[in-house]
Amino acid sequence: MRRVRIDRINLHVRGVAPSTVQSAARLLGPAVARAFGGRTVAAEPDAHIDAGRVVVGATPHAEPLATRIADQIVRATTRE
């Protein structure tokens, strides 16, 4: 298995409670690890990747928010 190192993730979150964002940020690492599964990393080393936007409902919960962000990151950096 190839190792993936993510140096920094910038999240710009609007309309979500700060406590939910903090909880989602703590859950993001494990969520990304799960989302990578058996996928092949297609991103180049040291690449700057814009994973796009994630639209959430009015009162998202931390775990589904982290999972959606992780899925978006993995889709932007891998291939099947």
Q: What is the pLDDT of residues 37-60, one digit of tens each?
A: 878 788 777 778 888 888 888 778
* 17 has pLDDT over 70: yes
Would 6 be classed as within a structural domain?
no
Would 1 be classed as within a structural domain?
no
Would 22 be classed as within a structural domain?
yes
Q: What is the pLDDT of residue 62?
A: 94
43 or 29, greater pLDDT: 29
- Total domains in the fold of the chain: 1
Say what the pTM is.
0.82
Q: Is the distance from CB of 40 to CB of 79 less than 8 angstroms?
A: yes
Would 13 be classed as within a structural domain?
no
Distance CA 54, CA 33 (A): 18
Q: What rounded mean pLDDT belongs to the chain? A: 86
